[in-house]
Amino acid sequence: MEIDKEKAAAKVIYEVGEQLSQQTRLNKDTLVKSLRKAEDAFPVLGQSSSLKPEIEPLNNFLIKHKLLQHKDKDVRVLVASCLCQIIRVLAPHPPYSDEILRDIFALIISMFAELSDTKSPYFTRRVKILETFAKLKCCLLMVDIGCDDLVLEMFNIFFSVVREHHQKSVLQSMLSIMAPILDDKVSQPLVDVILCNLLREEKGGASASFRLAVSIIEESTSKLEPFVQRFLTSCILDRDSVESELKDYYHEIIYEIFQCAPPMLVAVIPSLSHELLTDQVDVRIKAVNLLGKLFALPGHHVVQEYRQLFVEFLKRFSDKSAEVRISALQCAKVCYTAIMSGTEAPELLDAIEKRLLDFDDKVRIEAVITICDLARSNLKHIQSQLILHAMGRLRDKKVSVRKSTMQKLLELYRDYCIQCSEGLITLVEHFEQIPCKILMLCYDKDCKDFRPQNMELVLAEDLFPAGLSVEERMRHWIFLFSIFTPAHEKAFSSILSQKWRLQMEMQVYLKLRKEDKGNSSDDVQKKIRISCRKMSASFVDPSKAEECFEKLQQMKDEDIFNKLFLLVNDKTSLSDDTRDLSKKSADIRGALLGRVEKKHPLYEFLRVLSLKCSCNIFGSEHVRLILSDLSEKNLVNKHLEKSSVNLLLNVVSISPSLLRGSEDHLRMLVSEEENPFCEKLLQILMKASRYISIALSDIYPSLERACLEGTRLQSKYAISIIAALGGTSGDLAFSNLYEKLVDSLHAGQNMSTVLQSLGCIAQYSFSLFGSREKEITEIIQTIFHEHHVHSVDDLTSSDEDFGCSTSCRLKIYGLKTLVKSFLPYQGTHVRHQIKELFIILSKILPEGKFSDDSILSENDSAHIRLAAAKSVLRLARRWDLHILPQIFHLVILKARDPSSHVRVSFLDKIHKLLKDHAIPSRYACAFALASSDCLRDVQTNSLKYMEEFIREHSKEARRRQTSGIQNQGETNIYFPGYIMVFLIHVLAHDPCFPPENCHDEEIYARFCSPLVAILQALISASCDDTSRNVVNDTLSYMLNIFRAIRKSEDAVDVKKTSKLHILADIGLLLVKGLTNSGMPSYLPGSMLLPSSFYKVIPDIRCDEENLSAMAQCPFDENSIEKVLHFYESNIAGTATSLAKQSRKSQEERLQLNDSKNTAIDFPLHKEAGKLASRVKIEKENSSLQRLESRKTLRQVNTRGKNKQALSPSDSGLVGIIKQKEGVNGTELNLGRNQMSSSCGSIITKPSSSESLVSEKEVGDIVRCGTLREKGRNTTNRKLASEPFECSEASLKNKCSSKGVGDMDETLIGQRIKLWSPIDKCYYSGSIDGFDSQNSSHKVTYDNGEVELLRLTNEKWEIVSSVSSPNEETNKCRSIPSDPEVGSSISNPPEIDIPGNRASKRITAANKRKGHFDTKRAPYTVEKRKVHNLDSKASDVLDVDETAIARRTRNRKA
């Protein structure tokens, strides 16, 4: 049957061949029809050479009539199909010559080129041809006859026509054709075609060709391997010699091949280490990217197999090129994911973490991005320490780094919140630290985006995911508050406070706008502008916001203002369901913004304004949730309960109206008897009592219990709540409670709390307290004189940890009660019993005893002294006019109390009260007394407090001066330097004042150091104005004070007048000693002195001769150096550290002013450590020189007046104003207005001829008495007082190059001193060697540092070969400034670079030059190679090991 079919088919083919051969002229239709008939018959035929006769007619026809070159597409397809069948039937010996076969193969390959057209009617025939061609292995025949070009063309066609939607047989047929060719004969062009298509996916081409390339590589790995290896190795080692265009993509090729045929690259991958060490940055970047992808391949274990390559890869994290380091970081994420469970993961994380301290800001940003992405991909397994270190970049020196870090951390935190809400992860502290660290950005002054105005938007919009529920947000806030520090709470409160202020002001604005609409007036318009200005302060750019408010005011759309009213109106928070408030607020905001288009100029402003007006951070729903959880005990964790109460207290303190609607929960909590948070809840209720609706009767039992049995704080809050809720019937509300309290006091029950409650009642209702005041006072007096407490249990509820005995604490509580009774919250009741209280305090202050027979421990006495001093400070708010100078002395001297606890607490209290402007400024003189404290912390804090006081009160004084609030004389008492008046009086009455027969300068120096401290602080503050005139005016002001005191006498004890004058003379000499160009002038006028401290000396006693007889000054100009030296050695270091940053720029500005203002050279604004070495005792000038000096001073001061209208010395000398004393039986209005002028003033006026402090006057001060130390060497005194005689010419001669050239090696062993133009002094050292090649000497300084110098370029001189460093140090103190430079420059600070572990230094020679001299490189630097810009990339430059030049410290021995 089959044979018959085969014969029939052969016959058909034969007949078709004959018919076509007989045709002389064929048309297309006939030809196509005949060829189709033959094509249909061929499949029946099997492979047999015996069929050649039947096929020959058709075969001859196709060849002879040149149908191989026919142009018709239909004909060409049929011809190709028939020829392909003929080859199949007659295989393996087709009846064609090589030339004809070539033409046939070309025709068939052209059919392959049409395979991409799957919709063509001939697509099936083309596929059949492809399959037949593949089965017959015709590809091998092509290779045999040398059709290499056709083979290459065919390969290209296959890759170009293959499609994803082709049936699998098509791809398989192509592989069947290509693989045998490669197995038989591989050529580089064919390899290039395959590799080129391997990149199609990377270039965005068809993925089918990529899959075909991968398949052929997998199929013919062994054959392709040599060619691929040779090509890739050439590209790695010598890319320029490779001619192929693929050389630019060989990294991508390696990656793709490694995925499909890793063995092919066994010899190639190790060569990548060469690229990691090459000089070309782009090559290193590509190599890093490639290795990162290779390491990330799952299941290949590349890191383990190529360990050395991984090590080199890690080194690229510290590559010298920032681009390479960034690329390494970008690869780290996917790489870490693949090796997360391996031992190499910690190494990778460590490399990433180190980049957080990279010196390039872009690298630091990328490191943060990498860490955050790693954390987001796996929140559970990321190392907490890594996250915390990434948070550290929020404090980066670059604003861009801080911004990027904040954005990435916010993204991470939002992902964390989502997973917490889904239950995938629990609350974790290191993730909750993210908002904490972001809040700290509020303290960043460098960038306006971090101001609280903008951070509010961050908390509202970016902190939590948009769809996170209120409950989930509260979970996070409560946890956050449990880890908040005071700094976090302060930043958080500042954000909420400004938000609340804006909302309150918006209500005012909307109300004013409504009034203006009904009845427009200029007054209303002015109020609207003021309101807009206030609201503008809540925006990042207030000026721009104010303009927007003006435009908003002009808008006619009332619906916008209605929506704003709904956002800020308190009634909005009283809806039925607080859970809907956030949604309602969002809907209102959406409706508001819907009124304007996005392109509207005010759209962004309204968007921000609506956010600020919304309670989107904290609202009434948040408060209600907290109270609900507390009342229902939903918070199992006690720590979180405490945190929730603290959070509620913080929020309510800012916006108490948020408690509206939650009164029931609060009432329930307050009424609980055993509530552990009763104290905080009472405090919350106290703050919100005026804003919520709670009846006093509902909670009175709880409040009464707190007043009788609670802690002192609980009782204080309870009394405040009763006063607030009781309204006008305050006395009635307190009456029953007051009786019970007095009865409890008599019974000795819980006396600490009872005393607190009584004191608080006295402040709210003095009339009620006065009804039984005598009883209370008698009981308290009894407590003062008792040695034991009635009951030990009465103080167990005390919430104050005094660290003293129970008896001592009760005495202190009694004292506080008495003090509070004189400090009512309302009214100005004058109580004559105040004198009795001051008598009690005056007894307690010296030794802490209430009576002579009191027996107290030292600790108890210290606490009582402190309580007494604080009591006086509290009373000074209202009763300062009644505080006698003696009591003032006792209080101020607590700054030198034997107990360190007293000193620290006392100074902190004064600082706080002065900062709040609650006490007169004269109490600031305590800071000066404590400036020489033996404890470094006390000394540092006192200097810091004094600096803050001077800075703030200088502004206030200048404001008063310009506003004309007081006359010129009265204005002077408001300048901070006026505290010198009180300090001198305190020192004069100090029992430790040196006795008259004292001849020890060091004792005087130690005693007078507070004077120097004030002068130093005043001058430092004056230097902030960058004007030398301000310094001059400040010194003139201080001179006027000292002169005024010299012309006055002590109003308390006239016998102390001589001590006052001694201190004033010392002050004059200090000003003289601290200036280099003579005494500054003063301006005529009056200087007020407090009449309770000073009084005028009668005119008959006011001449200089009598003054000299009254006060024998123990100082001369030479001795004043002792005071400065003591200040240098004990205080100057602290002062320098406090003012280091602020003075850095001041010094440079003052140097520029030296050429303009040279009448006064005040060195104290430079480093305090150099004070003693800057003191110069000038020789007596001739009368002509003094006259010229006076003229110069007058001229400078005249210029100073023109330039600086505001100065503390606009009123110069002494005036007298009598103190207004109260008359017994007359009530005085002791309001806060009199607080500053605590004492009356006296005025003493100079003669008209006294226009400046002359040299003669200073000489008179010196001649009034000098102190000579026994055994003092005259020569040494001369050295210390006279300037070092050394002319510029002699220095140049000694330091000439000729002299050095003659001495080269002969200088070895000599001691020399080298001049530093930066430090304006000489450094001493010895010459230890000579390098003849560069003519440099090796100098070893006395502090051990070594450097190589060309002495021909330096100023130096030989000291001696045997003198000691100590001797030279003494000489160095008397050496003058650089003869060529008039002013000195302080040492600049050391510059640290993040991650620098082994920084180098620029030594003294480089400081003298002001730059790094490579010709005279320091010896210490030469010991180690520094990576320069020309170093090879293979020399890994780690940031942590960079040799970075740093400025050296002083080498003064």
User: What pLDDT score was predicted for residue 817?
Assistant: 93
115-124, 712-721, 1021-1030, 1189-1198: least confidently modelled range: 1189-1198
- The secondary structure of residue 1215, as a DSSP letter, is B
pLDDT band, residue 907 (cuts 50/70/90): very high
* Confidence band, pLDDT 50/70/90 cuts, at residue 1122: low
Query: Highest mean pLDDT range out of 200-209, 396-405, 1266-1275?
Result: 396-405
Residue 506 clears pLDDT 90, i.e. is over it: yes
Average pLDDT, the chain: 76
- Check residues 1212 and 215 and name the one with the higher pLDDT: 215
Residue 848, pLDDT score: 85
DSSP-derived secondary structure letter, 880? G
The pLDDT of residue 144 is 86
Stretch 1180-1192: mean pLDDT, rounded?
A: 38
User: For the chain, what percent of residues have pLDDT higher than 90?
Assistant: 30
Name the residue among 98, 66, 104, 71 with its Cα closest to residue 85: 104
Which residues on neighbouring strands pair with residue 1252, listed in sequence order? Answer: 1081
- The strand ranges marked E within 818-949 are none
Give the global pTM.
Answer: 0.69
Weakest-pLDDT range from 41-50, 698-707, 848-857, 1209-1218: 1209-1218
Statement: residue 292 has pLDDT above 70: yes
The yes-or-no verdict on residue 1196 having pLDDT over 70 is no
Tokens of 257: 């091949």
- Its sign, for the CA torsion 912, 918, 923, 925, is positive
Confidence of residue 1079 (pLDDT cuts 50, 70, 90): low
Residue 794 has pLDDT above 60, yes or no: no
Number of residues that make up the chain: 1453
Mean pLDDT over residues 1429-1439, rounded?
33
Structure tokens at 267: 């010899």
Distances (CA, A) of 89 to 45, 93, 436: 7, 9, 85
Distance CA 417, CA 465 (A): 7
CA pair distance 989, 972, nearest whole angstrom: 24
Q: Which residues pair with 1243 in a beta bridge?
A: 1088, 1215
What is the reported pLDDT for 1430?
35
Strand partners, 1050: 1094
pLDDT score of 839 more than 50: yes
Terminal Cα distance for the chain, rounded: 122
In this predicted structure, the answer to whether residue 158 has a pLDDT above a threshold of 80 is yes
pLDDT digits (tens, 9 = 90+) for 1289-1315: 333 343 443 344 445 667 887 888 887
Round to whole Å and give the CA distance between 953 and 968.
17
Residue 1351 pLDDT class (50, 70, 90 cuts): confident
Instruction: Please state the rounded mean pLDDT for residues 956-965.
Output: 71
pLDDT tops 90 at residue 483: yes
For residue 372, give the nearest of 344, 332, 338, 428 by alpha carbon.
332
Look at the block and give the residue holding tokens 């070893």: 1340
State yes or no: pLDDT of 578 exceeds 80: no
Q: Which of 1134, 1017, 993 is nearest to 1066 (CA)?
A: 993
Please give the Cα distance from 402 to 230 (Å, whole number): 48
Distance, in Å, from the CA atom of 291 to the CA atom of 344, rounded to the nearest integer, reads 15
pLDDT at 164: 85
State which of 1064-1068, 1171-1175, 1369-1373 shows the largest mean pLDDT. Answer: 1064-1068
3-state secondary structure of 1246: coil
Q: Could you report the per-residue pLDDT of 509-557, keeping only the tens digit for each? A: 999 988 887 677 888 889 999 999 999 999 999 999 999 999 998 888 8
Higher-pLDDT residue of 1248 and 505 is: 505
Where is 1328: in which H helix or E strand?
strand 1321-1331
Residue 92: predicted pLDDT:
79
Residue 1213 has pLDDT above 60, yes or no: no
**DSSP letter assigned to residue 507:** H
Average pLDDT over residues 402-409: 95
Q: Which of 230-234, 524-528, 670-674 has the lowest mean pLDDT?
A: 670-674
Q: What is the mean pLDDT of the segment spanning 1368-1397?
A: 34
- pLDDT tens per residue, range 254-266: 998 998 888 888 8
For residue 1437, is pLDDT > 50? no
**Which of the four pLDDT bands, split at 50, 70 and 90, describes residue 326?**
very high
Give per-residue pLDDT as tens, 352-372: 999 999 999 999 999 999 999
Q: State whether residue 992 is helix, strand or coil.
A: coil
Percent of the residues in the chain that have a pLDDT greater than 70, as a whole number: 73
Distance CA 657, CA 570 (A): 8
Residues 1087 and 970: beta-carbon distance below 8 Å: no
